[in-house]
Structure formats: C-alpha cells, structure tokens
Amino acid sequence: MGPTATTSRQARGREATVLNGHQATGREATVLNGRQATVLIDGNNFYASCEAVVDPAVLGRPLVVLSNNDGCIVSRSAEARALGIPMGQPYFQVQRQLQRQGVLVRSSNYALYADMSQRLMTVLEEWVEALEIYSIDEAFGLLHRPAPASDGGGDLTAWGHALRRDVRRRLGLPVAVGIAPTKVLAKLANKWAKTAPPGGGGRPEVFDLGACPPAQAEAVLAATAIEDVWGIGRKLARWCRLRGCADARALRDLPTGELRHRCGVVGVRLQQELRGHACLPLELVPPAKRETCVSRSFSQPVTSLAQLKEAVATYTSRAAEKLRRQGQRAGALTVFVRSSPFNGTSFYANAATVRLSLASQDTAVLLAAALPLAEALFRPHKPLQKAGVVLQQLEEEALLQHHLLVPLPPEQQQRRSALLAAVDGLNRRYGSGTVQWAACGLARPWAMRRSQLSRAATTRLADIPVAWAGEQHVQPQTTAT
C-alpha cells in the first residue's frame, strides 16, 4: 500500500460513479446470456501458492500454511489436499503425521500474501471494466459480453483462459474464473470452475455459466447444494431444507412471496440474482473503516506489566500505521486483555476505553492514551493470553475538528505528519519495525510464534531472491538481484 494504492483507489472511485449510474439503469442483464457479465476470479490455495512463488523448491510438493501462532492449517497446496489433510486442523495434532508424509509446513507470512494480493488486483484491473476487491484473493469484475453469435461468439471461456495465463506468467499464481450474469451466479460458476461441473468433464478452471447450454446450466444449479449458495447462512439453509428446497435451482423457483415473508428483501434479491437479474452492484470503493483493530495471541502467557505494555505499544503503533494508510484519525481508543480459558486459573477478561480530546493518527499521542489503560487492566496473578487495541470513532484525516481548549499549531501538525510519513516510508521500504518506538521493546518474548516463516521475498530488500548470472567467474556479491 502507499501512494500508488491511494491513486488506484481514487481512480476506482471515479469509475464507481459512472458504473453505479449504469447499474441503476442497466436492466439489460436480465437473462442468463445477457450482455453484461460478472466474473469472480479467485486464487487457488492462495497462501500456499504464494509460498510456491517465492520458493520454487516447494512446487509440486505437499505444503500447508499455519494460522497465527502456528495454530491451525489455513491453506493447503493441491498435493496436500490430495493427501487428505483436513482444513482447520490444529497443527500439534497432525505434526507427526505431516512429518511422516513429507509435508512442508510454513507459518503465515501476511506481508507476502498482502503484497501478492495487491499485485494480483493490479493485473486483474487491466482485464475488466470495473473491479471489486472482495477479499485477499478474490475479486469480482464486470465486463460486456461480445455480441452472441450462433457459433458461440458470446462465450468468454477463452477470455478467462487468457486471463489465467497472464496471471500465471506475471505472478506465478493459479486462479480460477467463474463467469455469469450476476454476482451470486458468478460465485457459483467459480465453485464449479474448481470442481467438475455436471456434463462438463474434469476441472475446467474457467467456467462460463452464461454461455453453457441451458440444459447444463439447469444441471449445474440443481447440483449446487443450498448451503453453497453465496449469501445463504446456516439458519436460512436449514429453513430451505425443511421446505424441501435443497439446491440452488429449487431456491430460484421458490415462490417469491414466501421468501420475502421469511427473509425480506435480502432473500428476494438473492433469488433475483439466481434468476439472472443483477441486483447486487459491484462495490468499487471499499466503505470507510469505522474501527481498526490489532490483536494477537501471545506465544507464551504474559505475567509482567512490562511485557503487557510492550505488547500494547506494539499493537498501538501497528494500528496507528494502518490508520495513516487509511487516511483516518481516531477519536477513541480501547485496550482489551484476556487470559486463557484453559489454563486452570479463573478466567479474566477486561477492556478500557479512552476518548481523545483531539482525534489523532499520531503514534505518540495514541501510545500516551493506550499505555495507562494497559496498566489499569493488568492483574499480577492473571497470566494473559491475548491483548488488543481498537481505534474507534474514525474520521477522515482531512476533516480535523479542532478543540477549543487543545490547540494544535499548524506548523507543529505539519512537522509531526512529515515525521510519521518518513517513519512509515522507511518501514515500508526496509521492512516493518525498521524504525519503531522504544516502548515496543526489542526482545519481545511474548510475540507471535512463527517458527517456519518464509522470506518476505517481495517486500524486504534483503530477502529479494538472488538470480545467479553465471558460473565460476561471477562472485555471489556481484550478482544481480
């Protein structure tokens, strides 16, 4: 993120106005083979695939990525899936088994995944008319179908394969592409792009639901379990099943009145989307954040106030950095702590909030507010397992509401902003923590466990892979990086 991210977000904002106008009047996309197509592009095994990008030695080998503190398995390569390793499994339960099976293990490297995600979105923006970033590895795109011709001229499958090849060539990442007239159907098409759709052979990686024969489209909807329809929660799925509506096709054909009675306009919209009528517009500008939270579990129980203050200072400075990147200031700050419910002592959880007299994004101001809260929350005989900092009452940084009794001279404000921008720039360029507040501590025995972390090969200069340019006559020190 940085200046470039802001620029592209601004650009997206401009598109949004145009596109939302189009969406409001654009009722042409009302049938399955309509002119407007929505695509959902989704990274396959995203975290595991990112690991393979920076370390080709893992290509073709089973690999799993663990959650924070090396807790559970959160991503598996195709080879690890084939071994039947389940998702979400606690690592300590399967550690031996993984060793026996020769499965490679990585701690989650969020700096790498976030950077690869940003690169992916930049590539995708070139391929569609408008893009909604839905998650770290998923994006919806909008484009117009070429005029349908009798020989299948409206089919976007070839376009989807070209996009996959481009992403693979530029980033080394595998993606699956689902194409359909609406978001709900695109999500569904994407699911079938990653499995074998009925009547379509093996796993196609690109599936255009809007261009397949009507009989196949019906079969695909009938084969999609109600729980797999985007937007259907567990409760609603149970209600549908009790009504004998077990798949996407049955939901589409349910009497609309009944659905409206049960779940209001949300359910009706979902049904309309299944019928091919687009009513969920793309969200091109991410809504402004109302809160920013940084919280982590400790690698070992924290029993001293000094360690708790270090942790709270670290989370506060991280949250302040996020705030500046989002272009916001916080008007209030909450610190929370909790012990482990399983450690035998009585459970302790507590939180404290402070209102700032002047909304701020300055790490020093936020630290001065957060550290006394950490002191107030600490109990000597309660070993803590987790702490967090939440910045609240966020407002646009441009709209600084001054306080009559707490004046902030403009020169001083500018100097602080310049200092913080310089610190953020250094940390972005040379890696997080290059310049940090002393309150954050150095040894950090409480910090998250990430024992099998890969390199930050795309975000830290020292970690950039070395390309060997010759044989004996080229010294390692002089080779190009």
Q: Which positions ≥6 away from 479 have C-beta within 8 Å?
A: 466, 467, 468, 469, 470
Query: Is residue 42 a contact residue for Mg ion (CB under 5 A)?
Result: yes
Interface with Mg ion by CB under 5 A: which range of 85-93, 131-139, 328-336, 469-477? 131-139
334, burial (CB in 10 Å: exposed 0-12, middle 13-18, buried 19+):
middle
Closest approach, Cβ 46 to Mg ion, in A, equals 5
Q: Which two tokens stand for residue 476?
A: 């390692």
Residue 48 or 439: which CB sits closer to Mg ion? 48
Cβ neighbours around 96 below 10 Å, total: 9
Residue 179 or 359: which CB sits closer to Mg ion? 179
Residue 224 or 326: which CB sits closer to Mg ion? 224
Residue 99 or 135: which CB sits closer to Mg ion? 135
Closest approach, Cβ 203 to Mg ion, in A, equals 14
Residue 74 or 448: which CB sits closer to Mg ion? 74
Q: Is the dihedral of CA 75, 77, 78, 80 positive or negative?
A: negative
What is the spatial distance between Cα 207 and Cα 187, in angstroms, rounded to a whole number?
11
Helix %, strand %, coil % for the chain, to 5?
Answer: 45, 20, 35
Query: Is residue 173 a contact residue for Mg ion (CB under 5 A)?
Result: no
Q: Which two tokens stand for residue 86?
A: 């389940």
Residue 178 or 276: which CB sits closer to Mg ion? 178
Closest approach, Cβ 74 to Mg ion, in A, equals 11
Residues 307-336 that bind Mg ion (CB under 5 A): none
DSSP string covering 359-399, please?
EE--HHHHHHHHHHHHHHH--TT--EEEEEEEEES-EETT-
374-380, Cβ contacts within 8 angstroms, sequence gap of 24 or more = 374/305, 374/308, 374/309, 374/312, 374/335, 374/337, 375/305, 375/309, 376/352, 377/308, 377/335, 377/336, 377/337, 377/350, 377/351, 377/352, 378/305, 378/308, 378/337, 379/348, 380/303, 380/305
Interface with Mg ion by CB under 5 A: which range of 134-142, 325-333, 381-389, 405-413? 134-142
Interface with Mg ion by CB under 5 A: which range of 38-46, 237-245, 313-321, 337-345? 38-46
Interface with Mg ion by CB under 5 A: which range of 42-50, 63-71, 272-280, 332-340? 42-50
Closest approach, Cβ 217 to Mg ion, in A, equals 24
Tell me the Ramachandran region of residue 152: left when phi exceeds 0, alpha when psi lies from -120 to 50, beta otherwise. left
What is the spatial distance between Cα 427 and Cα 27, in angstroms, rounded to a whole number?
48
Interface with Mg ion by CB under 5 A: which range of 19-27, 37-45, 67-75, 82-90? 37-45
Query: Is residue 137 a contact residue for Mg ion (CB under 5 A)?
Result: yes
What is the spatial distance between Cα 264 and Cα 138, in angstroms, rounded to a whole number?
28
Q: Which two tokens stand for residue 320?
A: 């302040």
Closest approach, Cβ 227 to Mg ion, in A, equals 18
Closest approach, Cβ 371 to Mg ion, in A, equals 39
Residue 191 or 309: which CB sits closer to Mg ion? 191
Closest approach, Cβ 274 to Mg ion, in A, equals 22
Residue 43 or 388: which CB sits closer to Mg ion? 43
Q: Which positions ≥6 away from 29 have C-beta within 8 Å?
A: 35, 36, 181, 182, 276, 277, 278
Residues 45-84 that bind Mg ion (CB under 5 A): 46
Interface with Mg ion by CB under 5 A: which range of 1-9, 133-141, 323-331, 351-359? 133-141
Interface with Mg ion by CB under 5 A: which range of 36-44, 272-280, 344-352, 460-468? 36-44
Q: Which two tokens stand for residue 420?
A: 């913080």
Interface with Mg ion by CB under 5 A: which range of 30-38, 40-48, 115-123, 249-257? 40-48
Closest approach, Cβ 444 to Mg ion, in A, equals 32
Residue 11 or 82: which CB sits closer to Mg ion? 82
Closest approach, Cβ 176 to Mg ion, in A, equals 8
DSSP 56: G
Closest approach, Cβ 276 to Mg ion, in A, equals 25
Q: Is the dihedral of CA 25, 28, 31, 32 positive or negative?
A: negative
Closest approach, Cβ 75 to Mg ion, in A, equals 9
CB 113 within 8 A of CB 136: yes
Q: How many CA atoms lie within 13 A of 246 on its CB side?
A: 2
Interface with Mg ion by CB under 5 A: which range of 44-52, 112-120, 189-197, 349-357? 44-52
Closest approach, Cβ 191 to Mg ion, in A, equals 11
- DSSP H helical segments within 210-362, as ranges? 214-223, 234-242, 248-252, 256-274, 305-326
Query: Is residue 40 a contact residue for Mg ion (CB under 5 A)?
Result: no
Size of the site for Mg ion (CB under 5 A): 4
Q: How many CA atoms lie within 13 A of 252 on its CB side?
A: 19
Residue 32 or 123: which CB sits closer to Mg ion? 123
Residue 42 or 362: which CB sits closer to Mg ion? 42
Residue 29 or 177: which CB sits closer to Mg ion? 177
Secondary structure tally for the chain: helices H, strands E? 14, 13
Binding site for Mg ion (CB under 5 A): 42-43, 46, 137
